[in-house]
Amino acid sequence: MKFSLFVCVSLFVFSASLLAGPAGDYVGLTTVKKWIYEELVADSSFGYPNWTVTRDTIPYDSVSVSDFFTLDGKTAYERYYFKRHSDGSTEELRDTLYENGSDVWLKIPLFTIDTAALAYKTPLSVGNSWEMGIGGEYVGDYDSDGTNDTVTVSHDSSYVVSRGNYTVPAGTFDAFEIHRLGRVEVSLSSGTNMIEWVYSFERFVPRLGIIYDSTVIVDSVSGFETHWKFDVIRLQAYTGISERECQTEPYIKGIITKSSTLKVNGLRGSYLYSVDGTLIGKDINGTVTLPGKGVFFLRGVDKNHRSVIIKIIRR
């Protein structure tokens, strides 16, 4: 039985600028269209007399903003997650974020109750802290035996503890380190009691989002049989162009070449993407280097300050 609140909160991955607000810009919801992570999971379970440890590798874990809308008069974003496990299995899920002034909230079903958690107070600064707003007592029949159970959340804190350069597969970034702490106590009508502690260590880059997250969950059931789960999530790539744009967006012109280098004049600050939307190179001015044969997209700004996409085919 798991009540892993903070895993949802710690997993943070657009052209609709009219809906965007400064808080959404700050957490990367309007400046990035797709995040690609790798995830490693170690999990333990107790079967007398030994513990069993299982490990899972998720080499492709993408997060994208799939929709913009208004929620109770506030700017809101729907996020779409797609994971492909090493065994070939896949999973999908969605959640909702919304802005409230300079705060960004995550809307989640918590113990069957639709609620919201304060994910970020922007802008971040070392020494800042906040409660996520999900503390309190929840009552419901969580084990489906016809009798109500009680869940108490007594810690739901976030702390900005430091700032520095951190390196992940996507590159080296100036990031804030955020520590999150949660404590959940579960009392079931069956007499089973559980205490769960959640410790999350997140590295966050303004206007980009999470580049690294390490989460440890420790459970104690009826005072013994401690269970733990450990996740490490690292950013592999991020893009400023969506999969939909890669497939359907009109482009200014197409270029066919056999060369690995290409001169493109008239664009500044360009970004090069593969056909699946993965970022290959950034801040390109003039010369484009193609990693191999295939289809690529070059996005930049022309002299009239218009966004331009050029389709490149290397044969």
- The reported pLDDT for the residue numbered 202 is 97
Domains contained in the chain, CATH given: 5-239 (2.40.360), 243-314 (2.60.40)
Which of 118-122, 166-170, 213-217, 300-304 has the lowest average pLDDT? Answer: 300-304
Residue 186: strand pairing partners: 151, 194
Please give the residue that has the higher pLDDT: either 46 or 43: 43
Express each pLDDT in 91-141 by its tens digit. Answer: 999 999 999 999 999 987 777 677 889 999 999 999 999 999 888 888 888
Which of 1-5, 62-66, 158-162, 206-210 has the lowest average pLDDT? Answer: 1-5
Q: What is the spatial distance between Cα 43 and Cα 56, in angstroms, rounded to a whole number? A: 8
Q: Are 116 and 124 in contact (CB under 8 A)?
A: no
Q: Are 131 and 120 in contact (CB under 8 A)?
A: no
